[in-house]
């Protein structure tokens, strides 16, 4: 098959749906070019499959980003609570130190 014939066949196949190509193969329309047409049909299916995989991958990335934002917020809240607990522990240690040192504070 010459390059020109391949281009014409390729353009003809581009105008058809996947189902139409399958029907043509079953009917024996492209007897001489059957391997080329089958390969073309396989490429269509593969590209559709790749697109579905890519869409699924993008959805997974969106989900991870959403969970990351949620985790960042939770981590910030945990740091604030831990900081407050640290200040409370330091204050209680200071009060205990003062009590043990017999220091009195008059308000």
Q: What pLDDT shows up at residue 107? A: 67
What is the rounded CA–CA span in Å between residue 104 and residue 107?
10
Please report the pLDDT score of residue 79 as a whole number: 95
Helix H, strand E, coil C: the string for 8-40 is HHHHHHHCCCHHHHHHHHHHCCCCCCHHHHHHH
Predicted confidence pLDDT, tens digits, the chain (107 residues): 667 777 778 778 888 888 888 888 888 888 888 888 888 888 888 888 878 888 888 888 888 888 888 898 899 999 999 999 999 999 999 988 888 887 776 76
pTM: 0.49
């Amino acid at each position: 098959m010459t390059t020109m014939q391949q281009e014409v066949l390729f353009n003809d196949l581009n105008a058809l749906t996947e189902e139409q190509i399958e029907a043509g193969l079953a009917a024996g329309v492209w007897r001489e070019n059957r391997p080329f047409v089958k390969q073309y049909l396989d490429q269509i299916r593969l590209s559709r499959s790749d697109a579905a995989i890519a869409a699924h991958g993008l959805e997974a990335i969106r989900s991870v980003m959403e969970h990351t934002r949620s985790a960042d917020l939770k981590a910030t809240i945990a740091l604030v609570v831990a900081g407050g607990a640290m200040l409370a522990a330091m204050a209680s240690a200071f009060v205990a130190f003062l009590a043990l040192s017999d220091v009195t504070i008059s308000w």
